[in-house]
A and B are shown apart, each in its own frame.
Chain A
Amino acid sequence: MVYLTRKIEFSASHLYHNPAFSAEENRRVFGKCNNPHGHGHNYVLEVTVAGEPDPATGMVLDLKELKDILQREVTDRMDHRFLNYEVPELAGQIPTCENIATVIWRLLEPKITRGHLSRVRLYETPDLFVDCYGDDGGAPAGKGAAR
C-alpha cells in the first residue's frame, strides 16, 4: 500500500453561533469566534489516498485527476466564501474544523475511485488541525499505527 498526499489551501470566513444558546452563552462557549461579523483563516488541506500503484502507469491515481476533484469539490465550494452562509453542506452546523473536515471527507470519499481516501487533514491554523480517517482505521505511513 502506498499513501499519496496532495495539499491545497483555501481562504474562508466563518463564525460560531448556536441560535439555541443565549447571547451570553454563545460568547462564553465560543469566545472571539462568536464575533457576529465573522473572521477568516487560510485553511490548509492535506488529502491522503491509499492504494497500489498501477503497474502500467506507476501511479496510485493520476495527480491531475485528484487536483481536479479537489478544485471542484473543495476550492470551488469553499475558497473565498463565508462558510456559514455559502456552503449548503454546512447549513445548520457550527463550521468548526471538525465539521468542515467531516464535510470534506464526505464530499471526497465517493469521488476517489482509484485507491481509497485514507485521511483528510485540515489545518485551520498551524496550531489547530483535525484528522479524519475512514472506519478501516487507515493511517499514512509514519503518522499512525501500522496496519
Chain B
Amino acid sequence: MKELESRLLELRGISKYFGATAANDSIDLHLNSGEVLALLGENGAGKSTLMNIIFGMYHPDAGRILLRGKEVKISGPEDAMRNGVGMVHQHFMLVGRFDAVQNVCLMDGTASLTVWNRKKVRAELEKLKEQYHIEVELDCPVERLSISMQQKIEILKLLYTGAEILILDEPTAVLLPQECEALFEMIREMAAQGKGVIFISHKLGEVLRVSHRISVLSHGKVTGEVATAQADQALILRMMSGDDLPDLGSYVKKPAGERVCLSCEQLEGVDDRGVKTLNGVDLTVHCGEIVGVAGVEGNGQDELAEVLAGVRPAFSGEIQVDGKLLNSAKAGRFIESGVGYIPSDRNTVGTVPNFPLRENWLLRNRNWPKRHGLTDLRAAAGQASRAMEEFDVRGADCMTRSANLSGGNLQKFILARELGGAPKALVCSYPTRGLDMKAAWFVRSQLTRAKEAGVGIVLFSGDLDELFALSDRIVVLYRGRVVGQCRPEETTPQDIILMMMGGQA
C-alpha cells in the first residue's frame, strides 16, 4: 500500500502515431516520489515523444495517464503544470529576448491582467538559487547566456512552479563533465525533497550513476525495466538493441591514399546568430580516407560541415578541393568540383520535403538530364529508381514526396544521390543519427565502400564507437578549433573525451 501512495505518475498503454509510424506503442511506465527514473534508449526510440505526451505538448492516440492514482486528461502544458508536471526540453523552451526573471514569470498561471512584480519573482529565484546551489545570471537576455546557464534557468523555472514530477530530456547532451556533476547533484537534491525525476539519456554511464531505476525504450516500446542496483552494462545494452550488438570493431580498414582531396586552412566563421564558432580550423583529408570529427555538441561541428560543403560562408581561410581553391559559400561550385554532402537535417535540408523523389534526385545534380533543352523528368525518374533499388530504399517510388519517407529510407536515398554523383570528397554530418540499427549499418557500410573506392570522407558523429570503428584518423573539435588528432588504434575513447572537454591528451 505504501508504494501506491508514493506513486506519482503512471502511464498505461500510451500510443502515439506520426503518420504511419508508431513513435510510442502502448507504453506502461510509472514513477514514485523521491525516485530518479532513467529512461534509456537510442535516438528515435520514442523517449521525447513520450515525455511530451506527459507534458501535454502532444496528445496520445491511445492510453491513460494517472497522476497520484487519479486518471487525468492533459490537454496542454498548462494542464500538466497545474498537475505538478514540469519538463526541461532537449531544445530549451526559453524566450531568447527575455531575461531569466521574465522567462520564469511566464510560468505562473495567474490571471493575465495582473501587473507582474519583478522584484518579488526575482527574490524568490534568489532563494531557490541558494537552496539548490544554482549559480546563474538573472537579468540578462537569456540568448546571450551559455547553454549550461540556459539549462539552469530551465531548471529554475521548474522549481519555481513547484513541480513534483520533473522531466529532464537529455540534459547532459550539452554539458561538460564537471557541469554534469553539478546537474546530478541538483537531481539528487530534488529527489531527496520527495520529487520524482525522469531522466532521459542514451549514455549508460551517467544513467547508472544517477538513477534508482532504469526503463529501456526501443522502437516505441518498453523493452526492459531494472533497478539500477541490479543493472549491468551488458544487460541494458541487450534491452536497448533487442539483440546482441554487431561488433563495430570488426571492420578492417584499408590504408588511405596519399593524394590530398579536401583541405582547409585557418577557417573562421559564424553561426546563424552571428556568434563566431569557427576559430581557425585546419583539416586535411586524403583520398580513400575517413577523417572522424569528434566534439561536444555546439563546438563548431555544424558550421564546419556547412563551410566544407560550401553552404555557409567562411569569413576567412581557404578551402581546396582536389588541389583547386574554392570560394566559400558557392555551393554550386562545390557540387561541380565533386564535393558530396550529407547534412544532418535530412528532412528540410537534405531534400525538398514536398518534391517527389524524382525531383529530389535532381537536387545537386551535376549532369541535369535534358531533352530538347528541357528537363527530362523521365530520365531523372529512371536514374532515381535504379539508385533506389541499389540502395534498398523501401516503401516509396520515384513519385513519392520525400516528406512521406521514413528516416532510414530517406537517408539511404540521400546517400544514393550523393554517392551516385561519383564525388571526390564527401562531408557527412551525423549520418546515422536517429536511424535504427539496420539502417545505420547500411549507411556505415556504404561509407566504407565509398572510402575504398577512393573518396575522401569527413565524418561528423556524436557516437564515439562509430568514429573509432570507421575513421582512419580522428580529430577533435573544441571551441571552433582542432585541438588534437590521433589514430583510433593508438588511442582510447577516454583520451578523446578528455580532449573534447578541452584537456590535453
Real binding pair = no
Tell me the B residues contacting A by CB distance below 8 Å: none
Tell me the A residues contacting B by CB distance below 8 Å: none
